[in-house]
Chains A and B, each alone.
Chain A
Amino acid sequence: MTKAKLDQLRSGELSPVENVRRALERISKLNPKINAFIEVNNDVVAQAEALERKLKRGKRAGKLAGLAIGIKSNINVNGLRATCASRTLEDYVAAYDAEVVKRVLAEDGIIIGVNNMDEFACGSSGETSAFGVTDNPAAPGRIPGGSSSGGGAAIAAGMCDLCLGTDTGGSIRNPASHCGVVGVKPTYGLVPRQGLIDLGMSLDQIGPIASDVYGAALLLEVIAGKNQNECVMLDVPKVSYADKLDGADIKGMKIGVSPQFSEITDSAVMDVIDKSIETLGDLGAEIVDVELPHIEEAMPAYYLIVSVEFFSATRKFDGRKYGKRIEDVCGDEVLRRILRGRYISQKEYRGKYYQRALQVRTIIRRELMAALEKVDVIVGPTVPKLPHKLGTKLTPMEMYAYDYLTIPANLAGICGGVVKAGKVNGIPVGLQVQGMVLGEEQVLRVMRAFEAVS
Chain B
Amino acid sequence: MAEERQKEIERSAEEIVESFVKAAEGLPSEREMYYSQEAYNVVRPDGKPSSSEERTEFRKRFIKIMPAKDEDGNLRVEVAKWVK
**Option from A228, A321, A362 in Cβ contact (under 8 Å) with B45:** A228
* A322-B44 in contact (CB<8A): no
Interface string of B9-47 (1 = CB under 8 A from A): 110111111011101100111111111110111111101
* A202-B32 in contact (CB<8A): no
The B55-84 residues at the A interface (CB cut-off 8 A) are 58, 61-62, 64-67, 75, 77-78, 80
Residues of A within 8 A of B33 (CB): 358-359, 361-362, 365
Nearest-CB distance from A111 to chain B (Å)? Answer: 17
* B20-A336 in contact (CB<8A): no
Residues of B within 8 A of A353 (CB): 17, 20-21
The A349-401 residues at the B interface (CB cut-off 8 A) are 352-353, 355-363, 365, 395-397, 400
**Option from A230, A300, A301, A359 in Cβ contact (under 8 Å) with B29:** A359
Bound form: Cα–Cα A333–B33 in Å: 26
* A304-B16 in contact (CB<8A): yes
**Option from B5, B9, B30, B65 in Cβ contact (under 8 Å) with A95:** B65
**A22 CB-CB contact with B under 8 Å:** no
**A320 CB-CB contact with B under 8 Å:** yes
* A231-B44 in contact (CB<8A): yes
Residues of B within 8 A of A343 (CB): 13-14, 17
Residues of A within 8 A of B47 (CB): 228-229
Nearest-CB distance from A119 to chain B (Å)? Answer: 14
Residues of A within 8 A of B24 (CB): 297, 300-301, 356-357, 359-360
Residues of A within 8 A of B10 (CB): 339
Bound form: Cα–Cα A320–B16 in Å: 32
Most chain-A CB neighbours within 10 Å: which of B14, B41, B62, B67?
B41
A397 in contact with B16 given A297-B27, A360-B24 (CB within 8 Å):
yes
Bound form: Cα–Cα A405–B12 in Å: 22
A228 in contact with B23 given A188-B37, A413-B36 (CB within 8 Å):
no
Interface string of A288-325 (1 = CB under 8 A from B): 00000010110011011001000000000011111000
Most chain-A CB neighbours within 10 Å: which of B6, B32, B61?
B32
Bound form: Cα–Cα A322–B65 in Å: 6
* B40-A189 in contact (CB<8A): yes
Bound form: Cα–Cα A210–B66 in Å: 36
Nearest-CB distance from A148 to chain B (Å)? Answer: 21
* B19-A320 in contact (CB<8A): no
Bound form: Cα–Cα A283–B32 in Å: 41
**Option from B27, B64, B65 in Cβ contact (under 8 Å) with A294:** B27
Residues of A within 8 A of B35 (CB): 188, 202, 232, 413
Bound form: Cα–Cα A130–B67 in Å: 20
Chain A residue nearest to B13 (CB atoms) is: A340
Nearest-CB distance from B40 to chain A (Å)? Answer: 5
